[in-house]
Amino acid sequence: MKTKKHDTRWMVSVALMAAIVIVLANTPLGMIQLPIIKATTVHIPVILGAILLGPGAGAILGAVFGICSLVSNTMAPTLLSFAFSPFLSTTGIPGGALKAIWISVGCRILIGVVAGWLWVLFTKIKLNQFIALPIVGFVGSMVNTVTVMGSIYFLFAQQYAEAKEVALTAVFGLVMGTVTASGIPEAIAAAILVLALGKVLVVVFRKMNLGGAVNVESAK
C-alpha cells in the first residue's frame, strides 16, 4: 500500500511538472528578455523534475517539452522549423522526419536524463547543494543548446545554410555563435533559477519521500 501511494504521488508530481512545462512552452512566461536575446525557461521544470523526481521523470518531462516544441513548430512554423517538425522536413521521409523528431524530442529527453543522473552523482559524493544545484542547472541547459544546435549542424547543415542564406562553410560559425550568444546566457539563468527554486523544493519533496529527492543529503 505504501508503495502504491508513493507511485501515485510520484505520478501526480510528474503530471504537475508536465503542466508547468506545457504552460511555459505556450506562453510568454517561457522566455526571459536578456539585454541582447530572449532566453527560454521551458527546460527549467525539466531540470527541476529530474532533480526532485529522478532521471526517469526528467526524461518524461523532457519528452513533454519536445512534443510542445514539435507541435509549436508545426502549427506556427518559423525559418528553422524544418529541423523541429517531421511534417515540415525538407530531406524526405522517413529520414528527415526522424531527424526532426530527434532534435525536437530526443534532445529534450536528454536534458532530463543528464540532469537527473548528474544530481544522483552529486548526492552520492554529498556535494553541497549550493554548488550542486547551479551546476546541474547550467549543465542541463547546455545539454539542450549543444545537442539541438549540434544535431542541426550534423543533420541539417545544408538546409540550415539555405534557410540562413549563407555558404555551407559558414554554418559551423553560426551554430557556435548561437551556442555562445544564446546558450551560455540561458545556462546562467538556469543555474540561478534552479538554485533559487531547487533549494526549497528539494526539502519539500524529501519530506514527501518522493523520487530523486529521497536520497538527497546536503553536505555540511
Buried b / exposed e over 198-215, threshold 16 CB at 10 Å, is beebbeebbeeebbbbee
Written as tens digits, the pLDDT of the chain (220 aa) is 555 555 888 999 999 999 999 999 988 888 765 554 556 889 999 999 999 999 999 999 999 999 999 999 999 888 889 999 998 877 666 778 999 999 999 999 999 999 999 999 999 999 999 999 999 999 999 999 999 999 999 999 999 999 889 999 999 999 999 999 889 989 999 999 999 999 999 988 887 776 555 444 443 3
Measured distance CA(148)–CA(142) in Å, rounded: 10
Determine, yes or no, domain membership for 98.
yes
Residue 94's Cβ-count burial label (10 Å; 0-12, 13-18, 19+) is: exposed
In a domain, 73, yes or no: yes
Could you read off the pLDDT of 206-217 as tens digits, one per residue?
A: 877 765 554 444
Do the domain assignments include residue 219?
no
Beta bridge partners of residue 218, listed in sequence order = none
What is the total count of domains within the chain? Answer: 1
pTM of the shown model: 0.90
218 in a domain, yes or no? Answer: no
Q: Is residue 220 part of a domain?
A: no
What CATH code is carried by the domain that includes residue 6?
A: 1.10.1760.20
Q: What is the pLDDT of residues 2-12, one digit of tens each?
A: 555 558 889 99
81 in a domain, yes or no?
Answer: yes
Rounded distance between C-alpha atoms, residue 12 and residue 18, angstroms: 10
